A and B are shown apart, each in its own frame.
Chain A
């Protein structure tokens, strides 16, 4: 897949040239070409022992939770989605103590909110809670 991606990047880079040997296409072509060549070499050369590039169900759940957090944040808002996400992630990792889950999820997300909104003046999207903040 990497080789295919690099090959298409090499092809697209052709559009950035100006007909000289110092145009905008030189470096992208050089690098994409190198990825392509090394990718093909890696396919045929004996390789060091590697694991299968798979993702475990637990990692997938963490990824799905994070994607949901990012997808829902603009509409529902950070104040609700962030604690749910942190709590959910700790649950996936196996933490079951409700007091710890609640206090850490609320504490962490509130600290980050305060830092971003009060120190950096750029709070994350508040979504449904826009009127409150």
Chain B
């Protein structure tokens, strides 16, 4: 049954040239954004999200998946060539990638990173296709207490891994959830915190918040410190050697499995997956290895893991409606904007779309391989575009992107305000990912909290009386306790 659905999904994707074009466009845009230091896959998705409105949901979503996949891979280009990871997920790639580049083997390193990303993404996509339906079937048995506990668990996980200050992480998540309460009460229908402003009745739009936090804030940061890049290298081929592929094949598969597992844990994200795979490689290679000095395996492990994590992060997002990280939070927002309510019910009632999406994710990996092997030379030159042109252009795109949500100047002001908030929060080390996740999960969390309380006549014990809800609440509690203990150990 599943094999047939996947086959039908493949036919939908491969039989429609427009879908293929959207995937390719997404991957190209993603590689470009990811390769630009300072811009992340989240920024890319946030900037492109408004442009998906007028299109079929599948086209828009696959373009964003392409941006996600391409963005995580793109980070490796600047990590290898410029010793500046384009995205946090590429920081581990830099450790061995840049020494290879210094030896004059940048092409070989990028070729390896491309193939490793393809292998990682493909393994992850297969695991996602097999696992997500099972998880969604499990999720169908969830009631309001379980969903509230799940959102709590997701937030606790992202807070626990989001930075060096737990208090600031909790504060960011709480601010995000508070922002989600602006506008109509989702149950009673009365307005809250609108202060007579008509534009706030429907709540603060997600896209201006995203664009502000991840786009405008970056522009303001770059205004303080512009990056200057070294000159372009000589023309070279960006293809891996067959002997390298043979040497690293098991590293790629093992790291991909680590990546998909880590990525599927809400909050963990691609950067943690990359470092987890690199640590495992370090352990398995032993003390005498030349890791850190330009070992090809040191590129393959993090690249396979971080791209596998992109598909891993889609598992809880698609099956349970809980995003794994900031990018999947944007994808979740995209689904909502296109009129879907992500979660187990969405999964069972939109099987055609889901399986076409799975097929599209698998195809995105192939698109990444083609784009990576053929256009890397172009991207290597593009990432050196004059920042004095690029950064104002990004600011302009941020503003136009915010305007295009409701064709309202108000949303441009919102983007600007959140840009300042994001910029200042980064300075005082308040993490932005929990804030975004708080905004995205806030309404779902409130609805399920209040429905649970209505069911139990206000008795909070309902969250610990049901086994799944108890397990998730306990998971959230232990994640926080574990983080507190770790922080305490690291400070003593």
Interface residues of A (CB under 8 A from B): 2, 6, 9, 12-13, 16, 18, 20-24, 26-28, 31-32, 34-35, 38-39, 41-42, 45-48, 50-56, 58-59, 62-63, 66-67, 69-70, 73-74, 82, 85-86, 89-90, 92-95, 100, 104, 108-109, 112, 116, 119-120, 122, 124-125
CB contact under 8 A between A12 and B178, given known A52-B427, A70-B416: no
Which of these, A12, A22, A63, A95, contacts B416 with CB under 8 Å?
A: A63
Contacts of B409 in A (CB 8 A): 70, 73-74, 125
| Interchain CB contact under 8 A, B193 and A27 | no
Interface residues of B (CB under 8 A from A): 54, 163-165, 167-168, 170-171, 174-175, 177-178, 181, 185, 187-188, 190, 192-193, 219-220, 223-224, 226, 386-389, 391-393, 395-396, 399-400, 403-404, 407, 409, 412-413, 416, 420, 423-424, 427-429, 438, 442, 445-446, 449-451, 453-454, 458, 491
Interface SS of chain A: helix
Give the distance in Å from the alpha carbon of A62 to the alpha carbon of B386 in the complex.
Answer: 18
| Interchain CB contact under 8 A, B164 and A124 | no
Which of these, B54, B224, B442, contacts A56 with CB under 8 Å?
A: B224
CB contact under 8 A between A124 and B454, given known A24-B185, A48-B164, A66-B395: no
Give the distance in Å from the alpha carbon of A62 to the alpha carbon of B220 in the complex.
Answer: 8
Chain A nearest Cβ from B188, distance in angstroms: 5
Give the distance in Å from the alpha carbon of A24 to the alpha carbon of B190 in the complex.
Answer: 8
- Name which of B170, B181, B226, B391 has the most chain A CB atoms within 10 A of its CB: B181
A-B pair number, CB within 8 angstroms: 162
| Interchain CB contact under 8 A, A58 and B388 | no
Chain A nearest Cβ from B451, distance in angstroms: 8
Give the distance in Å from the alpha carbon of A66 to the alpha carbon of B168 in the complex.
Answer: 29
CB contact under 8 A between A53 and B427, given known A66-B416, A93-B387: yes
Chain A nearest Cβ from B167, distance in angstroms: 5
Contacts of A66 in B (CB 8 A): 395, 399, 416
The contact sample of 19 A-B pairs, CB cut-off 8 A, is: A20-B458, A21-B458, A27-B449, A38-B167, A39-B171, A42-B165, A42-B167, A48-B165, A48-B429, A52-B427, A62-B395, A70-B413, A82-B396, A85-B396, A86-B392, A93-B223, A93-B387, A116-B407, A120-B404
